[in-house]
A = this chain, B = another copy of it.
Amino acid sequence: METAELELRVRYAETDQMRVAHHASYFIWFEAARTEFIRARGRSYAEVEEAGWLLVVVEAHCRYRRPARYDDVLVIRTHLRSLGPSTLSFGYEIVRRADGERLAEGYTVHAAVDRAGRARRIPDEIAGFLGPVDAAAPADRREGRSGRAPGEREYT
């Protein structure tokens, strides 16, 4: 159970006048997909926040290969890409359900921020249920490009 999947249908509001899904929508889909990844580990991200932690996005990337269109059903696959002392990273792939075509892939890097808005080490509790990192993924899927600690900053 190292990869979680979310299916969703492209909404009309998500299209733009190029007649394809707008590129910012993909980051919203990635976010919905990692909510399901966490749920598949038996938690909910809502609980993480209730416990006083935020997983703030410190980096986001997407590579667009083919356009998603209105009413397409997409499958978004999420895996844990890296888990360091102060950041963790999720990787994503989006394929179109109808033909299996890969449309995009991307990643997000997150820092753990406490109630006071300070970046902290990833709590063991969170590392425990998220891990392990998906070792079956190719290196470029596994390695974060942003391993450094974000330092203690005001994030929220």
A residues lining the B interface (CB < 8 Å): 9, 11-13, 15-20, 22-25, 27-28, 31-32, 35, 44-46, 49, 54, 56-67, 70-71, 108, 146, 153-156
Contact = CB atoms under 8 A, between A and B. Distances in A.
Contacts of A59: 61-64
Total identical chains: 4
A61 to B, nearest CB: 5
A19 to B, nearest CB: 4
A98 to B, nearest CB: 13
B18 A156 contact: yes
A60 B62 contact: yes
B71 A46 contact: yes
